[in-house]
Structure 1
């Protein structure tokens, strides 16, 4: 693996997944495709979540109310990503929940307006993330809280690649199709590194039992979403990739809260 190529892929992944500024030199000669860059998604997710994780660590050290600390950390995550994944979740919920058939669901998902299914999904998932983080904070040190947050960030970005490589594109002209399917080797690197970061950081912060429970919950949630998306719209879209990150994240956090 050429380290310079990987650094370029990491920078492109950070730019794709967040609003963080990235130097232009990493995009010279780049055609916009992410087929190889997805290998860096887990590490990019970790880096993107470092500021919210640091904020959470400071709040825990200051003995801030857990619910307030969790709310501020999640708000920081949303600001840094530009609500990219939340937007995908809302559109996916609107399409799958309100679509009469495949074509109608895809049409709804292209509509930028927020529907009732999307609004409910956002409220439930954001609420569950905040509540789950608040529930685990009393049992974690400031460093442990930060490690848990970045672990889930890395694991949920690996879940995006899993969803992306497991399903065919639902549209030939969609965002997912335009940026290319993940290369097989890149997908393997993303899944392996994402799983390693997820488990290692959770073992260090919350213990082996909590790490295993979170991993199992994440896997079951992504498998269920994959099956639902394939059955309802015949494949993935850019929205369902974002929804996968949200579903994986909330599943892991809720499992941690239940075990802790």
Structure 2
């Protein structure tokens, strides 16, 4: 039975886990740190976390600010609010998968806080691809539509995290992802359905065409299984870093699809 109070608790816990936003302590009473059920709220948490960036995009677009500057500002605000959590995951994953010849070596590299050449290149490409794709799309939609596009990508990319998390076992048993628990099947289903449906609605409301909407969701549907297969083959399971990397790769794929289709 769906309990709205439990869902609000899950939402608060998800926002706190995915960002630096402080949530009221009442949502963490008797909370053991496990997110097995709370992941169902990831898509909505993504919308709340990215809402300031979406608002900036809408306002700047209405004021005819340069699309390139607007896109950079949006990505920068997201990184500030999340503490660059997902970017850090992408960087560590790129270093581990690129530099580790064995599973054990890859996991050691991913746990190292230092950034290697693979990680640096991954960050450059992530910021560059997201900014360039978003700036290409902004002039083609209304200011309100521009903000809705950013929100749609946020919901889909957080849904992608849940999907990747649920597809693979933990690669190690002492990491952040392992301590947060395995997602419940019902929570994963709820996140997938709510994330995809809400993103499709936001994309259509933004003024994106039906083919563009379908292509964006298809980009999400292809990116997560493909990346999960690569990760499984290399380290045999997920980590907190690969979950964060999934968010980044999905956001890149969605923005790229929109830039190609709108």
TM-score (norm 1): 0.99
Q: Which residue of 2 aligns with 1:227?
A: 229
Gaps of 5+ in 2: none
Partner in structure 1 of residue 112 of structure 2: 111
SS in 2 for 1:33: coil
Q: Which one of 241, 253, 256 corresponds to residue 254 of structure 1?
A: 256
Cα distance in 2 for partners of 1:61, 1:207 equals 21
Aligned partners of 2:193 and 2:181: how far apart in 1?
Answer: 21
Residue equivalent to 1:125: 126
Aligned pair 1:98/2:96, yes or no? Answer: no
Which position in structure 2 is the counterpart of 1:216? 218
1:243 is aligned to 2:245: yes
User: Hey, what's the Cα distance between the residues in 2 that align with 1:128 and 1:21?
Assistant: 30
Q: Distance in 2 between matches of 1:211 and 1:259?
A: 8
Question: Corresponding residue for 1:58?
Answer: 59
Cα-to-partner distance string for 1:168-191 (whole Å, 9 max, x where unaligned): 110011111111000011111011
Q: Name the structure 1 match of 2:187.
A: 186
Count of matched residue positions in the alignment of Structure 1 and Structure 2: 260
Name whichever of 38-47 and 216-225 sits farther off: 216-225
Counterpart-to-counterpart distance in 2, 1:84 and 1:180 = 19
CA distance in 2, matches of 1:163, 1:197: 19
Provide the residue aligned with 2:7 in structure 1. Answer: 6
- Structure 1, unaligned stretches of length 5 or more? none
Task: Give the structure 2 partner of residue 156 of structure 1.
Answer: 157
CA drift of 1:207 comes to 2.1
Q: TM-score, normalised by structure 2?
A: 0.98
